[in-house]
Amino acid sequence: MKKFTCYILFILIFTIYLSGCEKKANPIELPLIDDITSIEIAGGIKDTIITNEEIIASFIQKVIEAKPTSKQSLQDVPNALEYTRVDFVSDGNITSIFIYKENSKWYIEQSYQGIYEIDENILMLLNDD
């Protein structure tokens, strides 16, 4: 009986341990900085196209610094009421991310890739061109 109780206790602790280990989002997939010809922003205060290489590089750096969360991206667009769509244009290809605020935190979401927590000043980087 004592052996059985230890076995059950071990399974219980192991199950709790595994359920606490949530998978973080995969890294954001973006084109190489040198391949990006422009960033197109839609859904913010105004639609904008950015071609300045310095602004593109600093924005990409901020996006790369985003912290992966355990939230999953399971649809084409975020489930947020308001969001800004950011398209990275490179050689006719477009890679999109979405930026939005939820529960006083700012997030980047890349469809089916992951959701990442980001600094609230990220949109200011794009609006300062």
Is position 52 within any domain?
yes
User: What pLDDT score does 79 carry?
Assistant: 84
CA distance between the termini of the chain: 72
Task: Extract the runs of DSSP E, i.e. beta strands, from the chain.
Answer: 38-42, 48-50, 67-68, 84-90, 93-102, 105-110, 114-118
What CATH number did the domain enclosing 76 receive? 2.60.40.4250
| Average pLDDT, rounded, for the chain | 83
Residue 111 domain-assigned (yes or no): yes
Q: What is residue 128's predicted lDDT score, i.e. its pLDDT?
A: 55
pLDDT given for residue 5 in this prediction? 73
Residue 13 lies in a domain: no
For residue 5, count other CB atoms closer than 10 A to its CB.
9
Q: Which two tokens stand for residue 60?
A: 């990409």
Domain carrying residue 28: 24-127
Residue-wise pLDDT for 91-124, tens only, equals 889 999 999 999 999 999 999 899 999 988 877 7
Query: Alpha-carbon distance 109 to 33, whole Å?
Result: 19
pLDDT at 6: 63
Strand partners, 48: 41
- Total domains in the chain come to 1
Q: Which residue has the higher pLDDT, 125 or 122?
A: 122
Task: State residue 120's pLDDT score.
Answer: 82
Q: What pLDDT, on a 0 to 100 scale, did the predictor assign at position 4?
A: 65
- pLDDT score recorded for residue 97: 95
What tokens does 35 get?
A: 């391949």
Residue 14 inside a domain? The answer is: no
| Alpha helical stretches, state H, the chain | 2-20, 53-64, 122-127
Report pLDDT for 45: 66
Tell which residue, 41, 42, 43, has the closest CA to residue 52: 41
- Assigned domain for 47 exists: yes
Residue 89 belongs to some domain of the structure? yes
Establish if 6 belongs to a structural domain: no
What number is the average pLDDT over the span 29-57?
87
Q: What are phi and psi of 26, to 5 degrees?
A: -65, 160
* More reliable by pLDDT, 26 or 115: 115
| Each residue's pLDDT tens digit, 73-98 | 888 889 888 899 999 999 889 999 99
